[in-house]
Chain A
Amino acid sequence: DAGVIQSPRHEVTEMGQEVTLRCKPISGHDYLFWYRQTMMRGLELLIYFNNNVPIDDSGMPEDRFSAKMPNASFSTLKIQPSEPRDSAVYFCASSRDTYTDTQYFGPGTRLTVL
């Protein structure tokens, strides 16, 4: 299997612009997670999906962030408008089953908002 695929790997944008991050989970995995990692706050869970349905979005920072999963093989995380404090590495992860199962992480998208 190709593993979790994320694009782009790097994104540099200016404050106020819309940013869309993309994720393709491992085929057959029913769970998809979006995380954000910064030096200051560490690793934070933003939102996760089960069978394409958002289950818990309590980690989404504010209304500027939105996530969708239109089908089992694709998810997006959108930031509109972006701000410098959104600069971070964003990871997508997928797993086959519940909390006891291994989460497989993608390589991440490094976002820089100027």
Chain B
Amino acid sequence: GDSVTQMEGPVTLSEEAFLTINCTYTATGYPSLFWYVQYPGEGLQLLLKATKADDKGSNKGFEATYRKETTSFHLEKGSVQVSDSAVYFCALGRKSSGDKLTFGTGTRLAVRP
């Protein structure tokens, strides 16, 4: 079945550091890929998405590129801020698996001033 694997957290960085959170997936066909973010005490919200190979999703300085050849969708940001501290979830959706998403376990990011 479909699965999403994220790097273990927590990830602790200093402000203005470069961020990478790895995400790889297992799925047949051509899934759509997503990054959701959960700030403390809130529900998840979509950060960015990509629906086909080589697409790059971007939002709020975050980027991720859909790499079919490596089945990856790594999240990057050039300079993190304290306000980026949150839990980040990678997810995939595929037509033949219905209208639901498969989420990774989440990666907690803590940014120090």
Asked if A102 and B46 make an inter-chain contact with CB atoms under 8 angstroms apart, the answer reads yes
Q: Name the one of A43, A55, A105, A107 contacting B99, with C-beta atoms under 8 angstroms.
A: A55
Q: Which B residue sits closest to A50, measured CB to CB?
A: B99
Majority DSSP secondary structure for residues of B touching A: mixed
Flag whether A106 is at the interface (Cβ < 8 A): yes
Asked if B43 and A93 make an inter-chain contact with CB atoms under 8 angstroms apart, the answer reads yes
Asked if B32 and A42 make an inter-chain contact with CB atoms under 8 angstroms apart, the answer reads no
Q: Which of A63-98 contact B (CB under 8 A)?
A: 91, 93, 98
Asked if A56 and B98 make an inter-chain contact with CB atoms under 8 angstroms apart, the answer reads yes
Flag whether B24 is at the interface (Cβ < 8 A): no
What residues of B have a CB within 8 angstroms of the CB of A102 in the complex? 46, 49
Asked if A108 and B43 make an inter-chain contact with CB atoms under 8 angstroms apart, the answer reads yes
Chain B proximity of A46: nearest CB distance (Å): 11
Q: How far is the CA of A55 from the CA of B41 in the complex (A)?
A: 29
Q: How large is the interface on B (under 10, 10 to 19, 20 to 34, 35 or more residues)?
A: 20 to 34
Q: Name the one of B32, B43, B49, B98 contacting A55, with C-beta atoms under 8 angstroms.
A: B98
Q: How far is the CA of A96 from the CA of B101 in the complex (A)?
A: 14
Q: How far is the CA of A43 from the CA of B90 in the complex (A)?
A: 12
Q: Which B residue sits closest to A106, measured CB to CB?
A: B43
Q: Name the one of A48, A99, A107 contacting B43, with C-beta atoms under 8 angstroms.
A: A107
Chain B proximity of A72: nearest CB distance (Å): 16
Asked if B100 and A56 make an inter-chain contact with CB atoms under 8 angstroms apart, the answer reads yes
Q: How far is the CA of A110 from the CA of B46 in the complex (A)?
A: 21
Closest 6 CB pairs of A and B: A99-B93, A105-B43, A102-B46, A105-B44, A98-B99, A100-B32
| Contact surface of A with B, Cβ cutoff 8 Å | 4, 31, 33, 42-43, 45, 48, 50, 55-56, 91, 93, 98-100, 102-108
| Contact surface of B with A, Cβ cutoff 8 Å | 32, 36, 41-46, 49, 51, 89, 93-95, 97-101, 103, 105-106
